[in-house]
């Protein structure tokens, strides 16, 4: 287990070094340039673009998590069960309309910039979080929920102290998937003037500069792997913890 952790730390350190001092790595990308093109993106700070890209991704994911988990809680209560088909249809909207189509529809209303990108990522991230939240809340061990009811807990107490903590690993699995999808999809936000790493890729495609395209794609890919790996580790920790809690309750 030490070597994989060491590799992750090395990759993270290299990524940070590249974002802070990209000129130090220019010699690796120069073979991909032609006609005196710059090897490192020079129309903005890579560090600033990366932070903006992550901020947009996390903002959309947090909003999608709040709405998706809220809908899952609603439809798993007796008074909200009838809203399940409607909630599932709402969660499917983002998958029905491609993010590019959502951007095209949102720009005339919200204008260019970050706002339409947030809307597209929010809608696109709803479904995996909603489905995982629904699964987590509907597959709890009956013995645990009955024990909570037998202890005199109210519905709210059972939800906050028993159901959500036990369902959290499954919910986090949906959040992990949604985050990685949004991280990759956020690159298209640069087509509507949002500050994302897609700006580097678009600049590379426009100027036929493979070095720009590669560095933009690599930054996104490395971020996706590291975030996915980190959330997976957290998910495994929560699975072990909730597994012990279930055994103690039983």
Phi, psi for residue 35 in degrees, rounded to 5 = 55, 40
Whole-number pLDDT of residue 46: 95
Q: Radius of gyration over alpha carbons of the chain, in Å?
A: 22
C-alpha span between 124 and 151 (Å, rounded): 40
Which of 102-106, 130-134, 137-141, 166-170 is most confident? Answer: 130-134
Find, among 133, 120, 129, 122, the residue nearest to 168 by Cα.
Answer: 133
C-alpha span between 182 and 195 (Å, rounded): 14
In this structure, are residues 107 and 212 in contact, taking their beta carbons and an 8 Å threshold? no
Whole-number Cα distances in Å, 237 to 9, 82, 128, 242? 19, 34, 21, 9
The top-level CATH class assigned to 46-249 is: mainly alpha
Segment among 35-44, 70-79, 192-201, 239-248 with least mean pLDDT: 239-248
Segment among 30-34, 193-197, 246-250 with least mean pLDDT: 246-250
Q: If you ran DSSP here, which 8-state letter would residue 43 be given?
A: S
Domain chopping of the chain, boundaries = 46-249
Question: Maximum Cα–Cα distance for the chain, whole Å?
Answer: 76
The pLDDT of residue 242 is above 70: no
In this structure, are residues 235 and 172 in contact, taking their beta carbons and an 8 Å threshold? yes
The pLDDT of residue 250 is above 80: no
pLDDT digits (tens, 9 = 90+) for 128-151: 999 999 999 998 888 887 887 888
pLDDT digits (tens, 9 = 90+) for 39-86: 999 888 999 999 999 999 999 999 999 999 999 999 999 888 899 998
In this structure, are residues 176 and 188 in contact, taking their beta carbons and an 8 Å threshold? no
């Amino acid at each position: 287990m030490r070597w994989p952790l060491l590799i992750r730390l090395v990759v993270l350190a290299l990524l940070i070094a590249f974002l802070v001092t990209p000129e130090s790595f220019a010699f690796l990308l120069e073979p991909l340039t032609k006609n005196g093109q710059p090897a490192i993106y020079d129309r903005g700070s890579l560090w600033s673009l990366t932070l903006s890209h992550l901020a947009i991704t996390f903002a959309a994911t947090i909003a999608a998590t709040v709405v998706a988990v809220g809908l899952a809680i609603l439809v798993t209560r007796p008074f909200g069960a009838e809203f399940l088909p409607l909630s599932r249809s709402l969660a499917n909207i983002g998958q029905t309309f491609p993010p590019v189509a959502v951007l095209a529809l949102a720009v005339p209303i919200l204008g260019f910039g970050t706002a339409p990108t947030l809307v597209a990522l929010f809608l696109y991230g709803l479904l995996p979080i909603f489905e995982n939240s629904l699964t987590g809340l509907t597959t709890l061990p009956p013995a645990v929920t009955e024990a909570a009811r037998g202890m005199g807990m109210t519905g709210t107490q059972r939800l906050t102290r028993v159901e959500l903590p036990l369902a959290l690993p499954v919910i986090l699995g949906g959040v992990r998937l949604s985050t990685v999808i949004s991280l990759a999809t956020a690159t298209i936000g640069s087509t509507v003037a949002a500050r994302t790493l897609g700006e580097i890729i678009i600049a590379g495609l426009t100027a036929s500069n493979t070095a720009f395209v590669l560095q933009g794609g690599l930054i996104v890919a490395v971020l996706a792997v590291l975030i996915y790996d980190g959330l997976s580790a957290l998910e495994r920790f929560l699975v072990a913890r909730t597994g012990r809690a279930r055994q103690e309750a039983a």
